[in-house]
Structure 1
């Protein structure tokens, strides 16, 4: 009886081992399937994850513009591409092109204009990206860069042109500065990033973000072609070759930097203007 029991127990053990191997193979197959499906899902939906335009009606946008004394800004074909608020003081200190973040619409950055025009007589322009704020067009890096290039060309070349980018808009500002270095007099980057691939990889650590991502916003590469002054608020790495300065807001989150204090705007503008004068006199100045 003991011998029969031992034989039966041995056979059951072999069966259990076989089932365990099959279960492991099935588990690996399921995990692999879920991983691949997630990669595909993230790849297909990536732009919905990156871009979050507002969905306000035209009436709401127009009321908001009136409240902030902004006028519609049109391109050569009569399409509205954003908003502008000219300085009441002439002559102006220059033109500020504001390139906003990935959430909301251009008028949500009206407080940037308030701060800038409190400090000096700037003409301020808010670019609305295609797909944002009622503007026609699909959401993509290429469309945004095309719109930004068009907006820069519409500004007065006889006056200084400064770029202010926030979050996603820092990649747009870096692109313009690197593509048109002789046109841009200075750049302020608020809550910047090296490139979107690094951002995606940080949030999706187990996925091949570099292969999946289509809109890479490679700020670190764009700025290599720009030698003008660049100011960073909460930047950790700067590949540009010109005068530079880094501001760090202690204890502030990414979203909190969306509301820079007036004192920072004052200091940042002083840096851009002083760096410009140094560059004009061919002095080599580096800000640490």
Structure 2
């Protein structure tokens, strides 16, 4: 019996070590591409490259013909690349927003490796750059894991971001991981995204969109975060939708509602 228990303990310890070493491969699923490929694809989507002062490609901008009501920085989920989110510019540019798709370090054609620090630092730097461009308000759209990136960036740049649009967000990544891997101790998690804590000081308007049948982060996680938000807020639940099955068609009245609320949350 003792030998059996020792063997089981050794196996469990091995699983924990493997999970610790492999966790970022389980959390981040970037699509990689050469810069030339990314530029060609972006051109077909009507997007222009956005570079930092060092010339590094850090994202994509959608042209806006008229006055800018707000600059919206999109922080995408953990899979694919920023170019996979062209539906956000298609939906929101017609409502007067300049939409900027941030690419994460280690995603698309951007060099680097993904981590909480790398992604949130890139987002905070991008927020600073956009705020310096003019008086127009800076908004963030955080999608899934991007809601954690957005929350941490808000904490890193207090008072700069005026509004949030959170799509399938979560409250704490430790709770999400515990749901999927209940046998693993939470202290093994290195990238501890915690929007419910990072947004504790944010009192701007927030629009939250939840998938009622979310099998990845659960609708309960989104509701928990929504309840914790201090400022004006609105919740929309697509009851039958799964995590990757939200209806985000650009023609939906939803987008007009989002922009109207974030611009004038009181009326």
Which residue among 194, 201, 205 is the counterpart of 1:229? Answer: 205
User: Structure 1 residues 65 and 257, CA, compared in 2 at 3 Å: closer, same or farther?
Assistant: same
User: What's the CA shift for 1:178?
Assistant: 3.2
Which residue among 256, 262, 267 is the counterpart of 1:266? Answer: 256
1:129 paired with 2:104, answer yes
Q: Which has more radius of gyration?
A: 1
Aligned length: 251
- Check conservation: 1:52, 1:102, Cα contact below 8 A: yes
Which residue among 157, 168, 172 is the counterpart of 1:195? Answer: 172
User: What's the CA shift for 1:180?
Assistant: 2.9
- Check conservation: 1:166, 1:258, Cα contact below 8 A: no
Partner of 2:28: 51
User: Where does the alignment leave 5 or more consecutive residues of structure 1 unmatched?
Assistant: 1-23, 279-284
Secondary structure class of the residue paired with 2:41: helix
Equivalences for 1:82-93 in 2 at 5 Å? 82-89=59-66, 91-93=67-69
Q: Which has the higher helix share?
A: 1
Partner of 2:231: 242
User: What's the CA shift for 1:260?
Assistant: 5.5
- Check conservation: 1:167, 1:190, Cα contact below 8 A: yes
User: Structure 1 residues 259 and 25, CA, compared in 2 at 3 Å: closer, same or farther?
Assistant: farther
User: Where does the alignment leave 5 or more consecutive residues of structure 2 unmatched?
Assistant: 211-221
Partner of 1:151: 126
Which residue among 91, 102, 115 is the counterpart of 1:140? Answer: 115
User: Structure 1 residues 260 and 186, CA, compared in 2 at 3 Å: closer, same or farther?
Assistant: farther
TM-score, scaled relative to structure 1? 0.83
Partner of 1:116: 92
User: What's the CA shift for 1:248?
Assistant: 0.6
User: Structure 1 residues 107 and 226, CA, compared in 2 at 3 Å: closer, same or farther?
Assistant: same
1:115-140 alpha-carbon deviations (Å, 9 max, x no partner): 0012x122111111100112111221
**CA–CA separation in structure 2 for the residues paired with 1:60 and 1:263:** 34
Partner of 1:282: none
Cα RMSD after superposing both structures: 1.6
Larger RCO, structures 1/2 (Cα 8 Å, 6+ apart) = 2
- Check conservation: 2:141, 2:166, Cα contact below 8 A: yes
- Check conservation: 1:164, 1:188, Cα contact below 8 A: yes
- Check conservation: 1:73, 1:83, Cα contact below 8 A: yes
1:80 paired with 2:70, answer no
1:5-32 alpha-carbon deviations (Å, 9 max, x no partner): xxxxxxxxxxxxxxxxxxx222222221
**CA–CA separation in structure 2 for the residues paired with 1:188 and 1:178:** 16
1:255-276 alpha-carbon deviations (Å, 9 max, x no partner): 112736622222111211121x
User: What's the CA shift for 1:149?
Assistant: 0.9
